[in-house]
């Protein structure tokens, strides 16, 4: 279930079975029962009406239904796709090669506000997921807790439609309007909704039309803004009174018995509250022992050559009679030779081998994004289309030795709901590697709330984390202001206390080891990978078989140039960088006798000092140190790395900056201007200022 603040206590007590004393403890004792495992303290927590809860609803026949309420931020409605992703994970049997979904095991329920349902775009994005194969959950129950006002805003100012629920019409969702004063009518609406879901496995919506008896919150005076409405509400009998009256009129209850029931329920609350206060006064204050921040953890990610060969072969196998597009066939065939011939493994190839190897180790994988099946840059081709029949075949789903299931889907054209869905999925499936890919990283800010409120802060607020892995294509290649930057700076600003990992790899082998490490580490955390575009096929970036059969992800890559390796003592200048600009620097370095050492920081968060120290110790004669980036000075990694690197430099040395100056827009719109700026950056990196 996902919901906002209103009605939450009711849900906690009546649907999740949380006892009254636990509720009083949160309100009166200020106790929180969520911890943030792995932080160096127990998290900063959240206001109580945002915290999730798990419990059980006991039916009258004695059955127990597990109920989970998902933690949410103040940002109304953003929890909706998280709920569905979470439900999808619970519905998926993925510890088998031929994974399957069983929507009958879990039912997502979303409770909306009337103003928020009409106003927040994420609602429409979520409704659009209902029938998509990669996102189906067998139908969601939507309930609009419609009190006909949004804080102080009247309906006429909040939406252009007659009903709060009208958006759902566009998705052919059945809408049941029901008067919240009619208790039996409400139950009938719910039963109808349940039957619809059971029969048609699609979304259904109940528009529960009622009113808000008091103000928006404890401090609010509703008569300031809705005087006539509140005059009527004051003289309007409550649901309880109306329902009791109907039972009395029907001869099912006496007026006296109805009164006694109410008194007894109220007395129970008072008693529970008093006994809580008495016990709270006695209880000694004890604070939990702090959990320590763990910074590194060895995981082996190399794969033996014979296994890679076998996987490679399986990944190239299609059924008899399947016609691969001839152009593509040539490309794929190259992967056969690539394993054996020197440095021929490109990005897409390394990725396929990493994912396939994980499947054979029992790690389930879910991979989604806009056009991800083929890959935005035509680099992946994980799903093949028969050139004659259009039939699809994904060899990675048929690996003979796979012990877990693989899902890959082209997502709808959405960043917000799709990322939130994967966040929810990954949270309920910490056994799985869940990868979400942006078309270009630039579009990720369309999902900023999910990054800020869930991915970055969720662990500290709610103790919730996951293995969600983001692939954000990033790099300055003349594509203009919206095809260059995945806003590395934003992620690095949000990264703290090991809440998520940030990496920017420059070789397919590094990517291979990083993906495998992310899936296998015991310490569960999201990972943001700034993934490449031109490097996908750049020959200089390609890896060799032995890069995959040995080694592991290196957070820092020292300069492999033979001249520098042979004579590190001659190095006077050290250039630090991260990502694709390394290859621009390498191209310039090619024609020089003496050149700086170029050091790549590939693991940005958590920033590890030790590997940097080790590299610096190799260059005892160096006196000039610069950070080079493509991004403007107010963007990229500069603000994050500068203070960290500066601390590690030899005494008296400063870290210089080379990159674009401060800019309001991340990149140039004109390709010529881009080329000129890149050339200037590379020259300055080598100490040439003009
Ligand atoms: C995305 C977002 N914008 C603004 C707010 C501030 N806010 C909190 S409650 C509220 C009114 C919500 O009205 P409605 O959806 O009808 O729910 P109700 O509070 O009436 O139950 C607003 C605007 C918010 N929490 N989230």
In this predicted structure, which of 23-32, 161-170, 353-362, 443-452 has the lowest mean pLDDT? 23-32
Domain 305-549 fold is Rossmann fold (3.40.50)
pLDDT at 38: 56
- φ/ψ of 65, rounded to 5, equals -115, 120
Beta strand segments in 484-523, E: 501-503
Residue 292 has pLDDT above 90, yes or no: no
* Distance from the alpha carbon of residue 155 to the mean position of ligand 1, in angstroms: 13
**Alpha carbons 391 and 322: distance in angstroms, whole number:** 8
Q: How confident is the model at residue 536 (pLDDT cuts 50, 70, 90)?
A: very high
- DSSP letter for 645, please: H
Atom number, ligand 1, closest to the C-alpha of residue 146 = 16
Atom number, ligand 1, closest to the C-alpha of residue 212 = 20
Domain 8-237 fold is Rossmann fold (3.40.50)
In this predicted structure, which of 192-201, 333-342, 504-513, 523-532 has the lowest mean pLDDT? 333-342
Q: Which CATH code fits 559-685?
A: 3.40.50.11610
Atom number, ligand 1, closest to the C-alpha of residue 145 = 21
Write a three-state SS string for 550-565: CCCCCCEECCCCHHHH
Burial of 104 (C-beta count, 10 Å sphere; 0-12/13-18/19+): exposed
In 3D, which of 312, 295, 299 has the Cα closest to residue 515? 299
Which tens digit of pLDDT belongs to each residue from 86-95? 999 999 999 9
Instruction: Out of 111, 114, 115, 123, give the residue to mutate to test ligand 1, the one with the largest number of ligand atoms within 8 Å of its CB.
Output: 115
Counting other chains too, the contacts that 535-538 makes at CB distance below 8 Å and 24 or more residues apart are 535/347, 535/475, 535/506, 535/580, 535/583, 536/346, 536/347, 536/348, 536/377, 536/379, 537/346, 537/347, 537/379, 538/583
Residue 39 has pLDDT above 90, yes or no: no
Q: What SS3 class is residue 322?
A: coil
**Alpha carbons 672 and 478: distance in angstroms, whole number:** 8
**Alpha carbons 637 and 487: distance in angstroms, whole number:** 9
Q: How many CB atoms lie within 10 A of CB 238?
A: 11
Write a three-state SS string for 141-204: EEEEEECCEECCEEHHHHCCCCCCCHHHHHHCCCEEEEECCCHHHHHHHHHHHHHHHHHHCCCE
pLDDT at 359: 98
Mean pLDDT throughout 514-536?
A: 97
Q: Which residue has the tokens 């910490």?
A: 430
Ligand 1, atom 9: closest residue by C-alpha: 151
- DSSP letter for 196, please: H
Q: How confident is the model at residue 592 (pLDDT cuts 50, 70, 90)?
A: confident
Which tens digit of pLDDT belongs to each residue from 616-648? 999 999 999 999 999 999 999 999 999 999 999
Q: How confident is the model at residue 218 (pLDDT cuts 50, 70, 90)?
A: confident
Beta-bridge mates of residue 528: 470, 502
pTM given for the model: 0.95
**Alpha carbons 84 and 110: distance in angstroms, whole number:** 9
Q: What percent of the chain has pLDDT over 90?
A: 88
Q: Which residue has the tokens 């890069």?
A: 547
Task: Show Cβ contacts of residue 260 under 8 Å, excluding neighbours closer than 6 positions.
Answer: none
Beta-bridge mates of residue 490: none
Q: Which residue has the tokens 């309001």?
A: 664
In 3D, which of 80, 70, 71, 3 has the Cα closest to residue 414? 80
**Alpha carbons 212 and 231: distance in angstroms, whole number:** 12
User: What's the alpha-carbon Rg for the chain, to the nearest Å?
Assistant: 29
540: its two tokens: 């200089």
Ligand 1, atom 17: closest residue by C-alpha: 113
Q: How confident is the model at residue 355 (pLDDT cuts 50, 70, 90)?
A: very high
Q: Do the beta carbons of residue 302 and residue 512 sit within 8 Å?
A: no
Instruction: Out of 151, 153, 448, 454, give the residue to mutate to test ligand 1, the one with the largest number of ligand atoms within 8 Å of its CB.
Output: 151
Which tens digit of pLDDT belongs to each residue from 235-287? 999 999 999 999 999 999 999 999 999 999 999 999 988 888 888 777 644 44
Four-residue CA torsion sign, 506, 510, 515, 517: negative
Atom number, ligand 1, closest to the C-alpha of residue 158 = 16
Instruction: Out of 116, 149, 180, 212, give the residue to mutate to test ligand 1, the one with the largest number of ligand atoms within 8 Å of its CB.
Output: 116
Instruction: Out of 76, 208, 416, give the residue to mutate to test ligand 1, the one with the largest number of ligand atoms within 8 Å of its CB.
Output: 76
Residue 12 has pLDDT above 60, yes or no: yes
Helix and strand counts by DSSP (H, E) for the chain: 24, 24
**Alpha carbons 106 and 64: distance in angstroms, whole number:** 13
268: its two tokens: 């129970």
Q: Do the beta carbons of residue 450 and residue 418 sit within 8 Å?
A: no
Residue 33 has pLDDT above 70, yes or no: no
> Comparing 305-549 with 559-685, is the CATH topology the same?
yes
Per-domain residue ranges for the chain? 8-237, 238-282, 305-549, 559-685
CA distances in angstroms from 331 to 70, 276, 375, 380, listed in the order given: 45, 70, 14, 11
Element at 473 (helix H, strand E): strand 469-473
- φ/ψ of 58, rounded to 5, equals -95, 125
Q: Do the beta carbons of residue 508 and residue 450 sit within 8 Å?
A: no
Please list every protein residue whose CB sits less than 6 Å from any atom of ligand 1: 6, 74-76, 113-116, 120, 145, 147, 149-151, 216
Ligand 1, atom 26: closest residue by C-alpha: 75
**Alpha carbons 138 and 103: distance in angstroms, whole number:** 5
Q: What SS3 class is residue 108?
A: coil
* Distance from the alpha carbon of residue 242 to the mean position of ligand 1, in angstroms: 29
548: its two tokens: 């995959």
Mean pLDDT throughout 29-52?
A: 69
**Alpha carbons 356 and 359: distance in angstroms, whole number:** 5
pLDDT at 287: 47
Residue 609 has pLDDT above 60, yes or no: yes
pLDDT at 289: 46
Between 522 and 690, whose confidence is greater?
Answer: 522
* Distance from the alpha carbon of residue 190 to the mean position of ligand 1, in angstroms: 24
Beta-bridge mates of residue 232: none
In 3D, which of 293, 330, 335 has the Cα closest to residue 313? 335
């Amino acid at each position: 279930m996902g919901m906002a603040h209103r009605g939450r206590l009711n849900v906690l007590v009546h649907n999740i079975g949380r006892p009254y004393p636990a509720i009083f403890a949160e309100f009166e004792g200020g106790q929180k029962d969520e911890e943030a495992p792995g932080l160096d303290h127990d998290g900063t927590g959240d206001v109580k009406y945002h915290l999730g809860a798990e419990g059980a609803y006991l039916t009258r026949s004695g059955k127990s239904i597990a109920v989970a309420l998902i933690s949410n931020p103040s940002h109304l409605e953003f929890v909706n796709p998280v709920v569905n992703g979470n439900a999808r994970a619970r519905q998926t049997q993925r510890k088998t090669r031929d994974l399957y979904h069983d929507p009958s095991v879990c039912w997502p329920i979303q409770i909306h506000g009337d103003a928020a349902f009409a106003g927040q775009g994420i609602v429409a994005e979520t409704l659009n997921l209902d029938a998509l194969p990669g996102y189906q959950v067998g139908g969601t129950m939507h309930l609009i807790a419609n009190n006909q006002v949004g804080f102080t805003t009247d309906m006429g100012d909040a939406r252009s439609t007659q009903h709060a629920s009208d958006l759902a019409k566009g998705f052919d969702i059945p809408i049941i309007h029901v008067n919240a004063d009619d208790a039996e009518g409400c139950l009938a609406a719910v039963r109808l909704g349940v039957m619809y879901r059971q029969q048609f496995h699609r979304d259904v919506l109940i528009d529960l039309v009622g009113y808000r008896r008091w103000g928006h919150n404890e401090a609010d005076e509703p008569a300031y803004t809705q005087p006539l409405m509140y005059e009527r509400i004051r003289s309007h009998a409550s649901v309880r009174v109306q329902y009791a009256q109907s039972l009395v009129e029907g001869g099912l209850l006496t007026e006296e018995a109805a009164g006694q029931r109410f008194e007894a329920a109220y007395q129970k609350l008072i008693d529970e509250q008093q006994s809580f206060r008495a016990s709270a006064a006695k209880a000694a204050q004890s604070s939990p022992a702090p959990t320590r921040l763990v910074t590194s953890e060895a995981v082996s990610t190399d794969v033996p050559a014979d296994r890679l060969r076998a996987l490679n072969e399986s990944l190239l196998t299609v059924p008899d009679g399947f016609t691969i597009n001839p152009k593509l066939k040539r490309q794929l065939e190259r992967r056969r030779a690539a394993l054996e011939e020197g440095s021929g493994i490109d990005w897409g190839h390394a990725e396929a081998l990493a994912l396939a190897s994980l499947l054979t180790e029992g790690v389930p994988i879910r991979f989604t994004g806009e056009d991800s099946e083929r890959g935005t840059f035509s680099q992946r081709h994980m799903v093949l289309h028969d050139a004659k029949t259009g039939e699809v075949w994904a060899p990675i789903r048929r690996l003979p030795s796979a012990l877990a299931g693989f899902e890959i889907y082209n997502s709808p054209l959405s960043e917000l709901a799709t990322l939130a869905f994967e966040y929810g999925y990954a949270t309920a499936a910490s056994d799985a590697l869940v990868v979400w890919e942006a078309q270009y990283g630039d579009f990720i800010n369309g999902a900023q709330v999910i990054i800020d409120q869930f991915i970055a802060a969720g662990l500290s607020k709610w103790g919730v984390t996951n293995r969600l892995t983001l692939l954000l294509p990033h790099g300055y290649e003349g594509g203009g202001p919206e095809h260059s930057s995945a806003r590395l700076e934003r992620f690095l600003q949000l990264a703290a206390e090991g809440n998520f990992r940030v990496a920017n790899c420059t070789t397919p082998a590094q990517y291979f080891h990083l993906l495998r490490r992310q899936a296998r580490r015991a310490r569960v955390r999201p990972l943001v990978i700034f993934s490449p575009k031109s490097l996908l096929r750049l020959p200089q970036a390609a890896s060799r078989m032995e890069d995959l059969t040995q080694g592991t992800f290196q957070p820092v890559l020292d300069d492999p140039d033979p001249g520098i390796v042979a004579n590190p003592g001659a190095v006077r200048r050290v250039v630090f960088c991260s990502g694709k600009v390394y290859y621009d620097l390498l191209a310039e370095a090619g024609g020089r006798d003496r050149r700086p050492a170029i050091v790549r920081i590939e693991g940005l968060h958590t920033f590890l000092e030790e590997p940097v120290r080790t590299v610096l110790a190799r260059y005892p004669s160096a006196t000039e140190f610069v950070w080079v980036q493509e991004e403007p000075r107010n963007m990229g990694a500069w603000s994050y790395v500068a203070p960290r690197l500066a601390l590690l430099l030899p005494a008296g040395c400063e870290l210089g900056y080379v990159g674009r100056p401060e800019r309001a827009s991340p990149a140039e719109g004109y390709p010529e201007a881009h080329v000129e700026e890149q050339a200037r950056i590379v020259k300055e990196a080598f100490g040439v200022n003009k």
